[in-house]
Chains A and B, each alone.
Chain A
Amino acid sequence: MDIQTIIPSVDPISLPAPYWLFKLLLIVTFVLHIIAMNIVFGGSIIAYVAKLKGKTNDNFKKLYSDLAKKLPTFLAATITLGVAPLLFLQVIYGQYFYTSSAIIGWPWFLVIILLIIAYYGFYIIAFKGSENNKYLGWILLLSSFCIVLIGFIYSNNLTLMSTPQFWSQKYFRDPTGMNLNLNEYTLIPRYLHFVTAAIAVGGLFVAILGVFKWGTEKDYAKFLINFGGKWFTYATMLQFVVGILYLIILPKEQMMTFMGENIFATVSFLVALTAALGSIFIIFSSTKNEDPRKGIYIGTSLLVLVLVFMSIMRDSLRDSYLSEYFNPDLFLTATQWDVLGIFLFLFLGGIALWIFMLKVYFRKPNFN
């Protein structure tokens, strides 16, 4: 079957804003989503490790309960921040995304069920975390497992979305949606690339918790910074192996995107690589300092930079995969200035209100 004829046509309704605006919003909101996702993913794994070690060590016991209390909130953030990139993705890549989703219909639908299980599991842990109940460890493990699985299903869908040449054989073999994208050889390296990043960010999150506790519980804070810093450093070092493996396993054309073919993607790659190296170095050395806080701040800023540029690379990779089929010039555009204006106004106002609410919440309790 001819691939071009099977790829769905672009929706005939015009884009209600220029293409670049959707692309920008897609990448910006994706970065926010991925940060929250990494904290939940990595955080839940570290929480489980802390739970095991907490039987004999009070610091780990405390870390477990601190993480457990925060996991549901960060999962809420992951979901709410995930809605936006999913929306903007559907605006400009709908013809690929809807197709790959339908081909893996049941696993994709399963995401919703897994999410509900994981979410309630995290809430049980958060509310009963300090209790001595042997089932809590299993519940945490189940929730983490659901998150790990959701990530895997996402990797399946997003790789399949970029490779239309494999669609028809999968669909016609099984139109009931019982498919995955397991025969895609970049799937596992790509997934591991995300998992490793999530563990690193989870570690960094623990270190950041330490920074916040510095003023009140110095010893515990030092423990957090050391322990979290180690997770971050080792995971990020491992990431250099996993990431490079993923890069060289990519089809040559896609690999070359980051090797000079696409200047923008290549520069992003170099910046991300340098920033990642810098963050490892700074965070690792700061854990040895008397006051590591400054190092953690700088390292975290560098890591945010890494995530931004990695997200840009991820987007360039998709466009490279789809270059044969996808031409953004084909979009008709009829900008809805009025509604767009209302959105931007509410978006900025919403951010201000959100920051204000958190500020009010985190100021010192003051009962009247």
Chain B
Amino acid sequence: MNYPVWDVSFGSGLLIAIISVVHVFVSHFAVGGGLFLVLTERKAYKENNSQLVGWLKTHSKFFVLLTVVFGAITGVGIWFTIALVNPSATSALIHAFVWGWAIEWVFFFLEITAALLYLYGWKRLDKQTHIWIGWIYFLTAFLSMVVINGIITFMLTSGNWVESKNFWDGFFNPTYWPSLFIRFAFSLSLAGLYALITISRIKDSVFKSFVAKWSLKWVLPSFILLPIFAYWYVANIPVELFQSTNGLMATATQYATLISIFALITFLLALVYYFFTSKINLLFSLLILITAFVTMWSFEFIRESIRKPYVIANYMYGNSIYTESSDFDQGFSIEKINENGILNTAKWTSIKKIKKENSIQAGEEIFRVECLSCHTYDAYRGVRNRLIDRGWDKNITSQMISRIEHMQKGIMPPFAGFESERESLSDYLHNNISQSELSAFKSGKGLFDKYCQVCHQYSSDDPVFFVLTGADREEVEYYLTDLQGMNDLMPNLVPNSKEIEIMMDWFPKQFINQN
């Protein structure tokens, strides 16, 4: 609304996802790996194991080259990317938490310095001082996680901040602690998993087994604790958000399944490796890193998906419209946009008034300011294919958009703007779709998928079947021809008579033995 929308052809959301996921997989290693380095070094000195010190020198070089370069720059990269893709939300996070960011910067600066001194210090520092530098590294890396965790969790569970605008209300929000425990436990397990890469190159098999066993001891307990922390985390997420993982939203559900499977595989692989340490080679270590990567990736994707429709829960929608109208919303709230129109409100639209000849172009601009933050037209989360698959024509599309906030239990923000603007949006969406491309449905289930499935589930406890199972044909017809009369939350859909006929036969028979 306030800023120009950067139109990334393959999807700006995907760009953020890629850069964030690769970053977290390294940045968590940077935290847990720090503790791993100091405790392993202490162990080496205690046991007078010079071979272990030798391996640590190699491993710490790998550690620094990965975390200080790739980890740090992709971290800055996330910041660059979110500022490009969602400036309003970035600005809100910056303004609400400037001093948090500034504190994190202090830790970041110390962390990078300590990492370099630790690496170069093998040659010039005495053992005691070297370990000390290692501790400073770990503590500052951990503390930067402590800070950033407050801001990330705030986006999902903004707590009382929305009312109070108090720093601490936002920072210590409901998912702060469980998230910190999950991230820290995961970072410890990554310390052990990444170590396998440098371990796989050790020639001496007795020593290799020794280091591998020590490293895998960092993985196994963390993976036992992670489900407990995950349960605690989920318990603090508002129920209506977490429902998304339960079949209502494809992405969230998919990743909820993936995370359970891949966490288990990673745990089992680590267990197997523990008993066959001498067999660990580069391929095996990469394999377990990949399974761990999918686990982490799923975690971040679940968090991102269940946060929808918000970018900052209860404050700002993904398309940077404010959820509530207030004196400070600058006109960018749903309520005010509905009064003034989206084209008049959004600063970065060239068309302000819709005419017949510019309707499609206006629709494209509306798509850009209201939809592009999550969707593309025909790439990542592409809308075109969804319309075709569901068989929605221009009219159905427009009606569905009018109640879009109820789709899949509310994972999308409401459409903001005039009815004419909604029509323009549908014009644009259908400009490149011919009627013949739309899927045609002739079965009852097909029509259910076409008209109902975006909000209702094919399940006997869904209100639709609660009402229509076992109903008379006329009763079904009565409801289907006046959806809004039954419930104003429904879109004003008008199936044709043939479709109604099919559904009149189909609905009453579903789940008949259960209801």
Residue of A nearest to B15 (CB): A109
Assuming A171-B348, A343-B99, is B106 touching A8 (CB within 8 A)? no
Q: Which of A90-98, A220-228, A258-266 contacts B (4 or more CB under 8 A)?
A: A90-98
Q: Which residues, 247 to 286 on B, are CB-close (under 8 Å) to A?
A: none
Q: Decide if A184 is an interface residue (CB 8 Å cutoff).
A: no
| Chain A minimum-CB-distance residue to B115 | A76
- The reply to whether A91 and B95 form a contact with Cβ atoms under 8 Å apart is yes
Would you call A368 and B126 a contact (CB within 8 A)?
Answer: yes
Q: Flag if A83 contacts B129 (CB, 8 Å).
A: no
Interface check B5, CB cutoff 8 A = yes
B109 in complex: contacting residue of A1, A14, A354, A368, CB < 8 Å: A354
Interface residue A116 (Cβ < 8 Å from any Cβ of B):
yes
Q: B83 touching A90 by the CB < 8 A rule? A: yes
A346 to B116: give the CA distance in the assembly, Å. 21
Q: Which residues of B contact A347 (CB under 8 A)?
A: 102, 106
**Interchain CB contact under 8 A, B110 and A175:** no
Q: Does B114 have its Cβ within 8 Å of any Cβ on chain A?
A: yes
Are the C-beta atoms of B2 and A9 separated by less than 8 Å?
Answer: yes
Q: Are B87 and A176 in contact (CB under 8 A)?
A: no
A14 to B94, CA, bound (A): 11
Contacts of B167 in A (CB 8 A): 16, 336, 338-339
Q: Decide yes or no whether A119 CB sits under 8 A from chain B.
A: yes
Contacts of B461 in A (CB 8 A): none
A251 at the A/B interface (Cβ < 8 Å)? no
Which residues on B sit within 8 Å (CB–CB) of A102?
Answer: 3-6, 84, 87
Judge if A73 is at the interface, Cβ distance under 8 Å. yes
Contact B105 A357 (CB under 8 A): no
- CB contacts (< 8 Å) of A367 on chain B: these are 126
A248 at the interface (CB under 8 A from B): no
Contacts of B69 in A (CB 8 A): 116, 119-120, 123
Chain A positions within 8 Å of B136 at CB level: 353, 357
Contact in complex: B95, A13 (CB < 8 Å): yes
| B112-137 interface (Cβ within 8 A of A) | 112-114, 116-117, 120-121, 123-129, 133, 136
Whole-angstrom CA separation of A364 from B120 in the bound complex: 14
**A215 on interface, CB distance cutoff 8 Å:** no
Tell me whether A361 and B102 are in contact in the complex, defined as CB-CB below 8 angstroms, given that A16-B95, A98-B87, A108-B80 are known contacts.
no
Residue of A nearest to B100 (CB): A339
Minimal Cβ-Cβ distance residue in B for A368: B126
Interchain CB contact (< 8 A) of A83 among B19, B76, B116, B121: B76
Q: What 1/0 flags go to A1-45 for Cβ under 8 Å of B?
A: 100011111011111110000100100000000000000000000
Summarize B's interface: helix, strand, loop or mixed: helix
Do residues A339 and B117 form an inter-chain contact, with CB atoms below 8 A?
Answer: no
- Contacts A109-B80, A176-B7 hold; do A361 and B98 have CB atoms under 8 A apart? no
B70 within 8 A of A: yes
Please encode chain A, from 53 to 92, with 1 for each CB lying within 8 Å of some chain B CB and 0 for all others.
0000000000000000000010010011101101100110
Chain B 266-309, CB-CB to A under 8 Å as 1, else 0, gives: 00000000000000000000000000000000000000000000
Tell me whether A175 and B7 are in contact (CB under 8 A): yes
Contact with A along B346-367 (1 / 0, CB 8 A): 0110100000000000000000
- CB contact between B74 and one of A112, A343, A365 (< 8 Å): that residue: A112
Interface size on A, residues (CB 8 A): 70
Q: Check if A17 sits within 8 Å of B98, measured CB to CB.
A: yes
Cβ of B200 under 8 Å from chain A: no
In the complex, A342 Cα to B113 Cα: how many Å? 21
- How far is B174's CA from A306's CA once the two chains are assembled, in angstroms? 49
Q: Are A172 and B350 in contact (CB under 8 A)?
A: yes
B112 adjacent to A15 (CB under 8 Å): no
Q: Which residues of B contact A86 (CB under 8 A)?
A: 79
B102 x A84 contact (CB < 8 A): yes
A13, B81: Cβ atoms closer than 8 Å: no
Bound together, the chains give a CA A354 to CA B120 distance in angstroms of 16
A contact face: mostly helix, strand, loop, or mixed: helix
Interface residues of A in 103-143 (CB under 8 A from B): 103, 105, 108-109, 111-112, 115-116, 119-120, 123
Are A105 and B8 neighbours in the complex by a CB distance under 8 Å? Answer: yes
Between B65, B95, B100, B133, the greatest number of chain A beta carbons within 10 A of the residue's beta carbon is seen for B95
Chain B residues whose C-beta falls within 8 Å of the C-beta of A123 in the assembled complex = 65, 69
B133 in complex: contacting residue of A91, A172, A357, CB < 8 Å = A357
| Distance between Cα atoms of A109 and B82 in the complex (Å) | 11
Task: Tell me whether A360 and B125 are in contact (CB under 8 A).
Answer: yes
> What's the Cα separation between A291 and B10 when bound, in Å?
62
Q: Which of A5, A6, A17, A105 contacts B84 (CB 8 A)?
A: A105
Q: Does A295 contact B (CB under 8 A)?
A: no
Contact partner, A101, options B83, B105, B109, Cβ 8 Å:
B83
Beta-carbon contact of A101 and B84 below 8 Å: yes
- Whether A98 pairs with B90 at a CB distance below 8 angstroms is yes
Cβ of A80 and Cβ of B73 under 8 Å apart?
Answer: no
B515 on the interface (CB 8 Å rule)?
no
Q: Does A328 lie at the interface of the complex (its beta carbon under 8 Å from any beta carbon of B)?
A: no
State the Cβ distance, B393 to closest chain A Cβ, in Å: 28
**Is the beta-carbon distance between B80 and A99 smaller than 8 angstroms?**
no
Contact B76 A103 (CB under 8 A): no
Is B502 an interface position by the 8 A CB rule?
Answer: no
- With known contacts A12-B329, A361-B125, A79–B73 Cβ distance under 8 A: yes
Residue A327 at the chain B interface, CB threshold 8 Å: no
Q: Chain A residues near B4 (CB, 8 Å)?
A: 99, 102-103, 167, 171, 175
- Chain A positions within 8 Å of B94 at CB level: 11, 87, 90-91, 94
Closest residue to B1 on the A side, CB-wise? A8
B65 touches A343 (CB 8 A): no
Give A76's nearest chain B residue, CB to CB. B112
13 example contacts (A-B, Cβ-Cβ < 8 A) are as follows A7-B347, A79-B72, A79-B73, A102-B6, A102-B87, A112-B76, A119-B73, A171-B348, A339-B100, A339-B103, A342-B99, A346-B103, A357-B136
Q: List residues of A whose CB falls within 8 A of some B CB.
A: 1, 5-9, 11-17, 22, 25, 73, 76, 79-81, 83-84, 86-87, 90-91, 94-95, 98-99, 101-103, 105, 108-109, 111-112, 115-116, 119-120, 123, 167-168, 171-172, 175-177, 334, 336, 338-340, 342-343, 346-347, 350, 353-354, 357-358, 360-361, 365-368
10 further A-B pairs in the complex, CB-CB below 8 A; given A98-B87, A176-B8: A8-B347, A14-B165, A17-B99, A98-B91, A112-B74, A176-B6, A177-B7, A346-B106, A357-B114, A366-B126
Taking beta carbons and an 8 Å cutoff, which residues of B are in contact with A? 2-9, 15, 19, 65, 68-70, 72-74, 76-77, 79-81, 83-84, 87-88, 90-92, 94-96, 98-103, 105-110, 112-114, 116-117, 120-121, 123-129, 133, 136, 165, 167-168, 328-330, 347-348, 350, 368
